[in-house]
Structure 1
Amino acid sequence: MARPRSPLLSRERIVAAAIALVDAEGLAALSTRRLATQLGVSGPSLYNHFATKDDLLEAVADAVTAQVDISALGARPWPDALRAWATSYRRTLAEHPNLVPVVAHGPGRRPHALRLADAVYGALVDAGWPPREATRIGALMRFFVVGAATGSFAAGFVDDPELYGADYPHLSDAHRLQARRREIDEAAFETGLDALIAGLELRFAGLPAVRPA
């Protein structure tokens, strides 16, 4: 039997192509017609794998979530595990900034997103956090990480030194922020993460619950 001229269509291949397209051109560029053209297939053939565009976006978001490293959760002390997970989560979102709004809206029915939520919650409860507190911490960390990945603080300042004059006396060096965007944004994330975890450690120390041995 002759081999097909192009690789057989699969969910994995469609999702990978969709991620690449959104990474390159944004969410608005994603359509079944555009994706089918890139894959070299007819548009209707995509519907054999995804009934709607929303179904495809859910799969795309879950594939990105699967890139987050959750191996530290339950395997290391909870402060170290939270730090490792949050750092990997932000790094993953930073690699796919155009997909942050979709990834952040979950977990819904997404398997990898549910597995991530289960790992975070389980690691905290197993470490001795009351379930109610563990839920709040999971939400807190998600708000923090997603917020950090949503945009750049440093990029919000233009690099025009003439803009910052007498009206803004404390922003005389603000025009330098753009050139140090990555350094400043990463340092800000690390500072915030340090503060959050330090605060949680103090809160944990004051809990009356019995700690696991």
Structure 2
Amino acid sequence: MPRPRQALLTRERIVAAACELVDADGLDAFSTRRLAAMLGVRGPSLYNHFATKDEILDAVADNVIADVDISMFTRLEWREALRDWARSYRAALAAHPNIVPYLARGPGRRHTALTMADAVYGALVRAGWPPARATHVGALMRYFVAGSSLGSFARGFVGDPGIYDERYPHLSQAHRLADHQRSVDDGAFELGLRALIDGLSRTYEEVVGPLSPLPPTAQAH
């Protein structure tokens, strides 16, 4: 029989299927056996493209990070850049929360993750942050964004008002939180982001020197 014109299996197909599996069932349930079955191939076929299971997960993780916009670090003042980057970063992770624990290990050898880390660190150092402090800022932002992407605060409260009886006198409206999940979670993120950048601005002035005022449009955001 003539060979097919296109390979039945590609790295892109493997990564897309692996991402779907992780999104659906989490990291603990992910296996190359399940991935091969989903793709309709034998397990060893995967190893023509990836040497190990971790290489597949690395590719999934880098695909997620590829959705993060880092262009602002070449065109915006560092405070504005951190703000816009954090929003884009959170959106990418929140779309795939099950991969976040894997991403939290750090960039490893992943090209896209290292490119993002380089962009953030480079922008902070160019702005005058001492290298050690720039490292701290990058780590702090990652902790904050990753934590906010792992789950929903609002959805953690059940909708049964009977749960919140006299033992929890300050939670009489907690059963309503899940109905306002987006506004609660987005509001908490934005409040935390503003507090972080305000605090970092004060630290910058203590460590480096005075900051120029942001333009009014940037302050409004």
TM-score, length-scaled by structure 2: 0.89
2:14 maps to 1:14: yes
Corresponding residue for 1:83?
83
Instruction: Give me the whole-angstrom Cα distance separating, in 2, the residues matched to 1:7 and 1:95.
Output: 30
Instruction: Give me the whole-angstrom Cα distance separating, in 1, the residues matched to 2:177 and 2:208.
Output: 45
What is the Cα deviation at residue 26 of structure 1? 2.1
2:54 maps to 1:40: no
1:1-213 mapped onto 2 (5 Å cutoff) = 4=4, 7-208=7-208
Comparing 92-101 with 150-159, greater Cα deviation is found at: 150-159
- Give SS of 1:125's match: helix
Q: Is the 8 A contact 1:128 1:210 kept in 2?
A: no
Instruction: Give me the whole-angstrom Cα distance separating, in 1, the residues matched to 2:208 and 2:100.
Output: 38
Q: Deviations over 1:43-88 (max 9, x none)?
A: 1111011111112111111111111111101320101100111111
Instruction: Give me the whole-angstrom Cα distance separating, in 1, the residues matched to 2:7 and 2:63.
Output: 20
Instruction: Give me the whole-angstrom Cα distance separating, in 1, the residues matched to 2:37 and 2:169.
Output: 54
Instruction: Give me the whole-angstrom Cα distance separating, in 1, the residues matched to 2:189 and 2:208.
Output: 31
Q: Deviations over 1:109-150 (max 9, x none)?
A: 111111111111001011111111101100110110011111
Corresponding residue for 2:219?
none
Instruction: Give me the whole-angstrom Cα distance separating, in 1, the residues matched to 2:162 and 2:6.
Output: 56
Instruction: Give me the whole-angstrom Cα distance separating, in 2, the residues matched to 1:184 and 1:203.
Output: 28
Instruction: Give me the whole-angstrom Cα distance separating, in 2, the residues matched to 1:202 and 1:172.
Output: 38
Change (3 A) 1:208 1:55: closer
Instruction: Give me the whole-angstrom Cα distance separating, in 2, the residues matched to 1:79 and 1:210.
Output: 13
Q: Deviations over 1:155-181 (max 9, x none)?
A: 121111112122211111111011111
Matched-pair identity in %: 63
Q: How many aligned positions are there?
A: 211
**Counterpart residue type for residue 126 of structure 2:** D
Instruction: Give me the whole-angstrom Cα distance separating, in 2, the residues matched to 1:132 and 1:33.
Output: 43
**Counterpart residue type for residue 46 of structure 2:** L
**Counterpart residue type for residue 162 of structure 2:** E
**Counterpart residue type for residue 15 of structure 2:** V
Q: Is the 8 A contact 1:125 1:131 kept in 2?
A: yes
Q: Which structure 1 segments of 5+ residues have no match?
A: none
Q: Deviations over 1:186-211 (max 9, x none)?
A: 11000000110011112222334699
- Give SS of 2:115's match: helix
Instruction: Give me the whole-angstrom Cα distance separating, in 1, the residues matched to 2:132 and 2:28.
Output: 38
- Give SS of 1:29's match: coil
Change (3 A) 1:7 1:180: farther
**Counterpart residue type for residue 120 of structure 1:** V
Q: Which structure 2 segments of 5+ residues have no match?
A: 212-221
Instruction: Give me the whole-angstrom Cα distance separating, in 2, the residues matched to 1:120 and 1:26.
Output: 29
**Aligned-residue RMSD, C-alpha:** 1.9
Instruction: Give me the whole-angstrom Cα distance separating, in 1, the residues matched to 2:150 and 2:196.
Output: 19
